[in-house]
Structure formats: structure tokens, C-alpha cells
Amino acid sequence: MSTSITINVNGRDIEARKGEMIIKALERDGIHVPTLCYMKDLAPTGACRMCVVEIEGQRTLAPSCAFPVAEGMVIQTHSPRVKMARKTIIELLLADHPDDCLYCERSGQCQLQTLAIEYDVRQRRVMGSKSHCGMDFSSPSLVRDPDKCILCGKCVRICEEVQHVSAIDFTKRGSESLISTTFDQGLNISSCINCGQCITVCPTGALREKRSIREVAEALNDPEMTVVVQHAPAVSVALGEEFGMKQGTDVVGVMHTAFRRLGFDNVFSTSFTADLTIMEEATELVQRVTGGGALPMFTSCSPGWVKFVEQYHPDFLKNISTCKSPQQMMGAVIKTYFAEKNKIDPAKIFSVSVMPCTAKKFEITRPGMGRDGVRDVDAVLTTRELAKMIRAAGLDLSKLEPTPADTPFGNRSTAGKLFGASGGVMEAALRTGYFLITGNELEDLKFEAVRGLDGIKEAKIPITDDLTIGVAVASSLANAQTLIEQIRNGRDDLHFIEVMTCPGGCVNGGGQPFYQDEDAVRNRMGALYKIDMEGDIRCSHQNPAIQELYAEYLGEPCGHKSHEILHTHYTKRETTI
């Protein structure tokens, strides 16, 4: 029985699927209706009413995101009545919105601002008193400005339904409604895991990352400081979007040049310490599998995930790898090996990382992420913040000549670059884990089963005649929680689980360019896989610079010195409000 029906939209027949919402049929046919609250793949709320359409025979306008299609339905998406309704909604929202667009973080990228322009809202027709709630600067990663909130609810939904954190919710009622934490306390004492996914869905400037540009600029202007920078694998395949380049364009070479033009003394690739992470993590996994350690072992690269376990599942802390994240490993080797080799006082090194992730700003403040009162990493910039610094310096990426990163921490395998995609850590670890157990190289390095945007991906990997490893990849914390509950209920066929806090992995991190639709995420992910396919060194253990670091300084993976510098511990956190 066919599920296709025909509806008439703006005088033209189009095909729809029985039971779907109107907006789905419109999107598929290339018809755009504005919306401020709609979230693909989540149940509709119809909260903003911007997507209203006029349906023949209906007295009231219908929200297309929450109204199902019906055979023979006749719809107008941009009739005079519809456009007037949308314009009125915009005017009502602006009546309680700050008039500080010139100073707003999202100016030029604000959906409310864009709609005001599109619907020709050029004067204030609706007057009223404005909300004054005060800003929340308490978080190490995020800033909340409730005065700019339009109550679309997208931040609440992604925090609760996608991440299962529920750090924020609607509070109070009527005209006093606002989105806040429990008891309206600061984000720093809420259950927030700092992932920044709320920032990516916020249509206005109500949420943003806590800026670190000023402190980085001050360090760059201090002649007594050696200022070094590292960049995460996902940054180079997203930064170009900030400058109008095609999604997924890899700008790594010109980005290195931009770093040097900005004044950084050394430019390193976090993909190098992704390789280092694999050496430690794969060795740790092999030790657990062969020596009876806590299984399954979970990855520890994603700081939002680690805090999630500390808060909600402390009984699984023993299952998390003790490895620091690649960001923290880079910071550690810079302020130990690099500092010793170059005879620099670690306290005179200002270490900056550029990350796709707002939770990395939180991670650098964790206890154990440094030594002798000196942090491993001093400041974290998001991809967006780096773009601001490049623009402020008058640099045009399209006109810069590419340059390589500095050695030895600029040499990476392509496995290290895969860390930016969901499944990438798993794939890199399997390549090296297989070698550590068997002494042989894999013939086929591609693990298709752990690639892609599915929320949970699983595979059984034969290693030897007597050993098959069960692996799983979780993308978003809701999916990670699903696996945790399965294990808690007796599932025992998994040995290794990769968890990425953000859906799709770091390519979709909270610090990446705004408006991260699925195409952007796929294109960034595809760019990383292309880099891997074209690479000369595709396994972490084959990286000569990694081998040299162990030979000269660290000794052996999971040895005494590497454990002291590259590993950490986690602690149960008291229930937060």
C-alpha cells in the first residue's frame, strides 16, 4: 500500500508522505519556511509559530512543523496573511529584545536579525518594558545572556533530549518565563558538562563561549613569553567556512601561516598527540584485555563525557581510560620535553589550543592537568574565536601561502587526524591495537562499521584465532547512556567503547562555525577521511616522531614516565543542582 499522497503548495502539486509534518514535505521540495524552534529529528513543539502556513478550509494558521499532511491539502506558505503573522511575531520578539546588535556576538549570524531584515521590520511598532535578568559568567566555558533569549526552547531540548544532562529548563510562568538553571544558580554549579551544543542551536546571542582572545593577545604581546599554539584535527576542515570557503575545505597549511602572522612562536598539531593518545590508550586496552582489567574500556578524549560520568555514572569511572586527552597531552609534552630541550622555563611558556569544543575550556582547569602550579594548557580558543583573530589582523586566508607545522609536534599520522570524526578514535586505536597484539600490520585499515553519523555503531573485530574484540561508538551522551544501561543490565560482549559528547564528533563541536547542518558535518567528516586515504603514514605507531619521543624521553607506552606525564584520574562529583 502506497504511503505517498499529493498536496498542493503555492499552486503546485507536490508529493508528501502520509503522516509526516507539512514542513518535511516542504523541505524535501525545496520550499523554505522560517522557523526559530524547529529541530530536525526531534518531536515538534510549535513554540515559535514562525513556520505557520495557510491551509484552505482552516480558519487559523497552522504551524507547519506540527501539522500533518492530508490528501488534497491546499497550502499557501507565503500568503499576505502568513507574512503579516510572521512579521508580527518578529515585532513582538524584538519588543523584549536588547538593542545592542552592534555589540552582540551573533550580529550578522543571528536568525532573529536575519528574519527582521527578511520581513522588513524597520521600526519599532510594539513598545514594552524589557527584561533585565543579568548575565551569567560563572561557567569556565559558556556565557548566558537571558535578556537575549526568545524562549524557543532549543537549548533546553538539546541539553535534555540529545545530551541527557538537563542543566537548564523553563522556569516561572507567563510573561516572567525564562530559561535558567535550577534555583537560577550559575552554570558553574549546575549539571552543565560544558559541551556548548546549546550555543550551536541558539538562534540569538543568548548563549556563547567564554572568550579567551584578550588573554591570548596579551601573551602574544609579552616579549618574555614563548607563545605556542596547537590545533585540533577538526579545526582545519571547518575554519574555511568562516571565510566563505566550501564546507569541508582543509585549510591546514594557510592556517599555520596565519598563526605565525598572528605572532605565535611555535605551531603544533594536536593530531600528533592524538597519535600519542593512541599509543597509550591502545596499550592500556591490550593490558586490560589480556590482564583482566575493567572492561569495557571507554575513551577519555571528550571532557564533556568524562564530567558526565563523574556526575551521573561514577560506578563506571574505573572503565574510563586514564589517558589525558590529546589537548592535555600536547600541553604536557610542551611544558616538559619541549621546555627541557629548548631550555625554557615552563612558567614562561604560554600554551594555547584551538579547539572545536567549548568543554576544552573547562578541561584545562581540571586538577591534575599540570605540575608545580603550571597548567598544561593556558588558554583555549574555539574555531570561531580563531576566525575573529584572523579577521581582526586583516589576514585573507585565500591569499596566504601554506606552511607546515613545527617539528617534532607537527608530525602526525592520518590516524591522528581521524580523531575529529565520530568513530575516528576507535578506528585509530584498532589499527594500532591490532599491531600491538599480533605484531603484524592490518591489510585493510578502513573500519566502515564505525564510520558515519549513526548514534550507536558496533562491530566485532577478529584479532587472533582466540580473540575477537567487541567495539562500539556512541555519538552524543544520550546514546552513551543507552550503552551504559545495557552494560549495567548485564551486557558483556563489548571490550572498547568510544564516546563523543557532540553528535557526529568534534567536527560538530560547540566551538565550530554556526549553523552546523547535517551536510556541513558530513562534509567536514568526509574531508578527514579523504586526508586519511591520501596519507603516507596511516597508523599512530608508524609515526617516526612518536617513536623518537618514546626513545628520547617517555620510555615506553604506559611506562612510569609516560604515566606520570600523560595520564590522569577522575573523581566522583557530588550531585549538582
Q: Which of 314, 315, 233, 270 is nearest to 527 (CA)?
A: 233
Give yes or no for residue 93 having a pLDDT over 90: yes
SS3 556: coil
Rounded to whole angstroms, the Cα distance separating 341 from 424 reads 32
Q: Are residues 436 and 541 in contact, defined by beta-carbon separation less than 8 angstroms?
A: yes
pLDDT band for position 1 (cuts 50, 70, 90): very low
Sheet holding 349-355, edge to edge: 266-269, 226-231, 349-355, 379-382
Q: What is the pLDDT of residues 365-382, one digit of tens each?
A: 999 999 999 999 999 999
Q: Which residue has the cell 606552511?
A: 403
Q: Which of 332, 335, 326, 328 is nearest to 276 (CA)?
A: 326
How many C-alpha atoms does 411 have within 13 Å on its Cβ side? 15
Distances (CA, A) of 453 to 3, 298, 422, 478, 513: 27, 19, 7, 14, 19
Q: Which three cell numbers stand for residue 569?
A: 584520574
Rounded to whole angstroms, the Cα distance separating 154 from 45 reads 10
Give yes or no for residue 405 having a pLDDT over 50: yes
Rounded to whole angstroms, the Cα distance separating 480 from 472 reads 10
| pTM assigned to the model | 0.95
Give yes or no for residue 169 having a pLDDT over 90: yes
User: Residue 516 contacts by C-beta under 8 Å, 6 or more apart in sequence?
Assistant: 200, 508
Tell me what the mean pLDDT of segment 256-275 comes to: 98
Distances (CA, A) of 238 to 241, 247, 328, 412, 495: 6, 7, 22, 19, 32
Residue ranges and CATH numbers for the domains of the chain are 4-78 (3.10.20.740), 91-209 (3.30.70.20), 214-566 (3.40.50.1780)
Tell me what the mean pLDDT of segment 120-141 comes to: 89
User: Residue 367 contacts by C-beta under 8 Å, 6 or more apart in sequence?
Assistant: none
Q: What is the pLDDT of residues 32-78, one digit of tens each?
A: 999 999 998 899 999 999 999 999 999 999 999 999 999 999 999 99
Q: What pLDDT, on the 0 to 100 scale, is given for residue 576?
A: 53
pLDDT band for position 2 (cuts 50, 70, 90): low
Q: Which residue has the cell 566555558?
A: 141
Give yes or no for residue 185 having a pLDDT over 60: yes
Average pLDDT of every residue of the chain: 95
Q: What share of the chain is helix, strand, coil (3-state, %, to 5)?
A: 40, 15, 45
Tell me what the mean pLDDT of segment 403-419 comes to: 96
Q: Which three cell numbers stand for residue 371?
A: 605540575
Backbone angles phi, psi at 72, to 5 degrees: 80, 5
Q: Are residues 452 and 475 in contact, defined by beta-carbon separation less than 8 angstroms?
A: no
Give yes or no for residue 516 having a pLDDT over 70: no
Rounded to whole angstroms, the Cα distance separating 54 from 60 reads 8
Instruction: Say how many C-beta atoms besides its own lie within 10 A of residue 548's C-beta.
Output: 13
Rounded to whole angstroms, the Cα distance separating 220 from 263 reads 6
Tell me what the mean pLDDT of segment 343-350 comes to: 97
Backbone angles phi, psi at 559, to 5 degrees: -80, -175
Q: Are residues 207 and 143 in contact, defined by beta-carbon separation less than 8 angstroms?
A: yes
Per cent of the chain over pLDDT 90 is 92
In b/e form, how buried is each residue of 516-534, taking b as 16+ CB within 10 angstroms? Answer: beeebbbbbbebbbebbee
Rounded to whole angstroms, the Cα distance separating 275 from 279 reads 6
Q: Are residues 108 and 114 in contact, defined by beta-carbon separation less than 8 angstroms?
A: no
Q: Which of 513, 520, 470 is nearest to 494 (CA)?
A: 470
Q: Which three cell numbers stand for residue 2?
A: 502506497
Distances (CA, A) of 240 to 250, 251, 284, 530: 7, 6, 36, 17
Q: Which of 236, 237, 240, 220 is nearest to 228 (CA)?
A: 220
Going by their DSSP bridges, the two strands 4-9 and 12-17 should be labelled as: antiparallel
DSSP 72-133: T-EEESS-HHHHHHHHHHHHHHHHTS-S-TTT-TTTTS-HHHHHHHHTT--S-----PPP--
User: What does the CA dihedral 323, 283, 409, 227 come to, rounded to 10 degrees?
Assistant: 10
Task: Kindly give the residue spans of alpha helices, DSSP state H, lying in 178-262.
Answer: 197-201, 213-220, 252-262
Distances (CA, A) of 265 to 341, 350, 405, 411, 535: 15, 10, 11, 17, 27
Q: What pLDDT, on the 0 to 100 scale, is given for residue 575?
A: 61
Angle at 369 between CA 365 and CA 374, to 5 degrees: 85
pLDDT band for position 130 (cuts 50, 70, 90): confident
